[in-house]
Structure 1
Amino acid sequence: MKRRSRKVTIGRLVYLIYYKPVATVRRSIREGGPWNQLVTARARREMERTARQMKPVKGSESSLPSYEVHMLTGARFWYQSAFCVRSLAAHSATELIKPVFYDDGTLGNHRQHLRRIFPSARLVSYTESERKLDRVLPEAKFPRLHERWHSYPNIRKLIDPHVGSAGWKLVLDSDMLFFRRPDFLLEWLRAPGEPLYMLDTEESYGYGRDALTKLAGVPPPKCLNVGVCGLQSEKIDWDRLEQWIAALDGSGRTTYYLEQALVAMLLAGRECAVAPAQAYITWPAPEECVQPKAIMHHYVADAKQFYFRESWRVCLRRMQNSETSNGLV
Structure 2
Amino acid sequence: MRRGEQQMKKAALKLPPLNLSKHKILNVSFLTGAKYWHQTIFCAYTLAHFSDGEIGIRLYSDGTLTDEQIGFINQVLPGIETISEQQVLQHLNLVLPQHTFPTLRHLRNWHPFFRRLIDIHTSPSWAIHMDSDMIFFGKPNQIIEAYQRKTAVYMKEQLASSYFVDSEDTLRDKYGINCIKSVNGGIVAYNNDKVDYADLEEKAKLLLQHYPQAGPAQVEQTLMSYMLHHQNAAALDEKSYSIFYDDKPDLSRPDIVRHYIFKAKLPYLTSEWKKVIL
TM-score normalized with structure 2 length: 0.90
Residue 252 of structure 1 pairs with residue 209 of structure 2: no
**Contact 1:221/1:268 (<8 A) preserved:** yes
Residue 74 of structure 1 pairs with residue 33 of structure 2: yes
Q: Which SS does the other structure have where 2:229 is aligned?
A: coil
User: Which residues in structure 2 correspond to 1:54-133 (within 5 Å)?
Assistant: 54-58=15-19, 60=21, 64-93=23-52, 96-108=54-66, 109-133=68-92
**Contact 1:283/1:303 (<8 A) preserved:** yes
| Structure 1: gaps spanning 5 or more residues | 1-39, 321-329
Find the counterpart in structure 2 of residue 34 from structure 1: none
State which of 125, 131, 136 in structure 2 corresponds to 1:167.
Answer: 125
State which of 264, 272, 282 in structure 1 corresponds to 2:225.
Answer: 264
Percent sequence identity over aligned pairs: 27
| Structure 2: gaps spanning 5 or more residues | none
- Quote the Cα distance in structure 1 between the aligned partners of 2:116 and 2:146: 19
User: Which residues in structure 2 correspond to 1:1-329 (within 5 Å)?
Assistant: 40-58=1-19, 60=21, 64-93=23-52, 96-108=54-66, 109-163=68-122, 165-189=123-147, 191-202=148-159, 203-214=162-173, 217=176, 219-250=178-209, 251-255=211-215, 256-268=217-229, 270-288=231-249, 290-314=251-275, 316-317=276-277, 320=278
Task: Give the AA of the match of 1:114.
Answer: I
Change (3 A) 1:69 1:302: same
Change (3 A) 1:116 1:216: farther
Q: Which SS does the other structure have where 1:114 is aligned?
A: helix
**Contact 1:289/1:306 (<8 A) preserved:** no
**Contact 1:75/1:110 (<8 A) preserved:** yes
**Contact 2:24/2:56 (<8 A) preserved:** no
**Contact 2:25/2:144 (<8 A) preserved:** no
- Quote the Cα distance in structure 2 between the aligned partners of 1:69 and 1:105: 19
Count of aligned residue pairs for this structure pair: 273
Change (3 A) 1:212 1:102: same
- Quote the Cα distance in structure 2 between the aligned partners of 1:219 and 1:162: 19
Larger Rg: 1
Q: What's the RMSD between the two structures over aligned residues?
A: 2.1
**Contact 1:69/1:170 (<8 A) preserved:** yes
- Quote the Cα distance in structure 2 between the aligned partners of 1:197 and 1:312: 23
Change (3 A) 1:216 1:280: farther
